[in-house]
Amino acid sequence: MDTSKTFTLFPQLPQELRLKVWQSTIEPRIVRIKWSAQLSQCTTPDNPIILRVSHESREEGLKTYRPAFVTASASRPVVYANFLLDTVDFDWETAYGQLSHFIHGELKTALKAVKSLIIRKLDFEVELAEPWISLLAEFSELETLIVSGCAEDPDRPVISRPEQMEEDIKITIFMAGEHENSDSMPKLVCLEKGYECPKHWWFKQCNEWCPRRMGRGLEAFEKPDWLSIVSSVDRVALEYSTDTNVP
């Protein structure tokens, strides 16, 4: 091992400087969550490195990160997160058959704290079908819903009657937005392609029209309603789209 570039004097630095170094490692992360049937709790390979380097770094890290998704049966917390910074990425397949833990169990409170969530394109485009839709409804504080997986699907859709499609999407949103509620509709984001995504380009319209329709900032829809809105708008977009490899 070449130690010629290893900085060995870090422990001798002033504590104030060391703490600034530890704090500089704190940044927004994507936290992958899996359900462990063996442990009967959630696990992750993405715990912050600041919690694992030294006693000093861990103490500093625990000012930012807290145990998350802890079950009553857990002997110790194995997931640490800061929901103001982190985006949660669940591997729902690992929890298949165990969803009651999330809907009715002690993990239900944890879902309500999540601000940013990634969902796979396949899950999203199956009309947000059960059982996942019941789980999404539990994310009552969700601010951003990120759809991932478009990079794996190079097909570009041909849009027929784009003006009529845009009008139908707007009507769908407006009609669904008759309910006034203090809860907010999350911002929709395509992870790989943003608003340039040929399949999820309508996210921009949805993000713009929903809050403007209510005239109350982001105070727009009751949570179960926004799931219905997203599913309905997705269905309208698909009706006007035909997948094909168009240059």
Cβ pair 44, 33 in contact under 8 A: yes
Dihedral sign for Cα 108, 112, 114, 116, please.
positive
Q: What is the largest CA-CA distance in the chain?
A: 68
> What stretches in the chain show pLDDT beneath 50?
126-128, 179-183, 212-224, 243-247
Cβ pair 136, 227 in contact under 8 A: yes
- Cα angle value 175/177/178 (rounded, 5°): 80
Question: pLDDT value at position 172?
Answer: 67
* pLDDT tens for each residue of 63-117: 999 999 988 776 778 899 999 999 999 887 787 777 777 777 778 888 889 999 9
The set of residues, in sequence order, having a beta carbon less than 8 Å from that of 127 and lying 6+ positions away, is 231, 234, 235
pTM of the model: 0.74
